[in-house]
Structure 1
Amino acid sequence: MNVSIDNGALESMQSLLGDQFEDTLVFCCSEFERLENDLKLALDCDKQEAIRHAHSLKSNAAQFGAISLSGTARAIEQGLIKGDELSVTENMEQITEQVVGSKSQLLQWLAMNP
């Protein structure tokens, strides 16, 4: 499985946020983990809550260029909405790897683009 990051999105956010970019990106990475955990907790007991967490994870990831993470979260969100349990299961198997990989690549990008 590939983890992909959109450097252009990161550069845009960096130019938009200026001095606040680093703190915001680090916070966003911790949000990826929180939203992933909240999604896992809600998955079996509160479908609407799970959809909301998947949606937030999708949006946050897209905003900071974590393309593959955003796509995986989108697939989970759509699977939950459509009742496609196979899609949800397959994508949930990838979500942790996507969160960890995206976080690693984003922080690596930050270190190389202070």
Structure 2
Amino acid sequence: MPDVTIDENALVSMQSLLGEHFEATLSFCHTEFDRLHSELESSFHSDNETAIRNSHSLKSNAAQFGAVSLAEIAKNIEHLLLENKLKEAEEFLVQLEPHILATKEKMTAWLINQ
């Protein structure tokens, strides 16, 4: 299992801000992680601009909800693609799927324990 880092203070802040809508928004956020990952993979070898945009969006969404380590992986992909370092970016891309799964599990466990 990947080493996942979650900033629980960010989750608490989002929960406070969103109130009764937090759980639904967190669920939507998890769906977005998956969608952005899928679109990033689809565009990775064929459309660098779209791949950069998807990695940037994944980074932002993850950071907003305290998924620190997921945001870091997405940031690395984004920056490497901007530098046209495809091979290095691909090393991070293969980490995304298991990391997203582990991140969603850890966030869900946090929510259950609230």
Q: TM-score range by the shorter chain?
A: over 0.9
- Regions of 4+ moved over 3 Å: none
Q: Show the counterpart of 2:54.
A: 53
Separation in 1, partners of 2:92, 2:53: 16
Q: Deviations over 1:58-86 (max 9, x none)?
A: 00000000000000000000010001123
Q: How many residues align?
A: 113
1:22 counterpart letter in structure 2: E
Q: Which runs of 5+ in 2 are unaligned?
A: none
- Cα distance in 2 for residues equivalent to 1:89 and 1:59: 19
Secondary structure, counterpart of 1:70 in structure 2: helix
Structure-2 separation of matches of 1:24 and 1:87: 33
Query: Partner residue of 2:71?
Result: 70
Instruction: Specify every segment of 5 or more residues in structure 1 that has no aligned partner in the other structure, as ranges.
Output: none
State the identity as a percent: 44
Cα displacement (A) at 1:89: 1.5
TM-score, reference length from structure 2 = 0.96
1:46-69, CA deviations, whole angstroms, 9 ceiling, x for partnerless residues?
100000000000000000000000
